[in-house]
Amino acid sequence: MQKRFLGSSGLEVSAIGLGCMGLNFGYGPATERSQAIALIRAAFDKGVSFFDTAEIYGPFTNEEVVGEALAPFRDQVVIATKFGFVTDPQGGKIGGLNSRPDHIRDVVEASLRRLRVDCIDLLYQHRVDPDVPIEDVAGTVKDLINQGKVKHFGLSEAGAKTIRRAHAVQPVTALQSEYSLFWREPEAEILPLLEELGIGFVPFSPLGKGFLTGSITTDTQFEATDFRSQVPRLSAASIQANLSVVEVLGDMAATKNATKAQVAIAWLLAQKPWIVPIPGTTKLHRLEENLGAAGVELSAQDLQSLEQAMSGIVLQGDRYPAHFMKLIDR
């Protein structure tokens, strides 16, 4: 597995990471613990050194699984986690946003215990809290870095103004936001800013929540516990309208002896050398498929062909339900 640096921070990780959320949260019933641990360790064996989790995944259980799985090779991996939501320690219910300094410190202490680590490699603010100045957030993380409890500071789904303000207080190592051929909004303002400031980019949902694999059709029925059942872009009507994107990927995949998913991830890797996608999966064969994208080379002509094919496609549907879109910083 090739390595990449997240911006100018000096933090080196595998070119493709593993998003661990789906093992315990968001995509239906949680994976059995031993199977989840086995999958994470299989990723490590295949060269993955960058693992992503958060306190709200579960809640809490995903950090515990990641911590147990990676304990034998702690010094060989980079673990990222997140703070920023209110969670009920008893019932596990997720509430609103909370990035007050005291809450950040409490979350970090709990995450350190669950992850079985002395220091968090990369700590993201999960969503920007409009009630707490970002300078206070960055300053709190800066203190935690000085205390040796955190190594690097990250933001997730933050807008350009917030990124710039935070970076002025504590250098931001990475931004984690959605980016793929299914969602290209970051290209307009965010990517140029990250390049200017030397910040790495970690795209989540690099496969469009599974849509770009070609496995989701108008006949797909999501379980009630699968958050995709609420995503407007994945409604039956939107799926029908958006299938042309999958067809474009299929055409390119056929010329590369690759899968649609591999082309989608390879496209992200080709955008910038400081982009590190984190596809998630619960299945070993999908893990192997995703990591195989690192070996798919897209030439300038290939990229131009994809761009030309995509230029006439207007995608339909929001990427989140309305109540969640309100949490996106602009």
Which two structure tokens, joined as six digits, stand for 205? 């949902």
**Strand pairing category for 12-14 and 3-5:** antiparallel
Question: Residue 213 contacts by C-beta under 8 Å, 6 or more apart in sequence?
Answer: 207, 259, 260, 261, 264
Q: In what order do the strands lie in the sheet with 150-156?
A: 18-19, 50-52, 78-83, 120-125, 150-156, 172-178, 200-204
Distance, C-alpha 226 to centroid of its chain: 17
List Cα–Cα distances, 292 to 66, 77, 96, 264, 266, in angstroms. 23, 20, 38, 11, 9
Which two structure tokens, joined as six digits, stand for 13? 């990780």
CA distance 15 to 1: 7
Tell me which of 27, 57, 124, 179 is the catalytic residue: 57
User: Can 124 be counted among the known catalytic residues?
Assistant: no
CA distance 81 to 115: 9
Question: Residue 187 contacts by C-beta under 8 Å, 6 or more apart in sequence?
Answer: none
Q: Which residues are catalytic?
A: 57
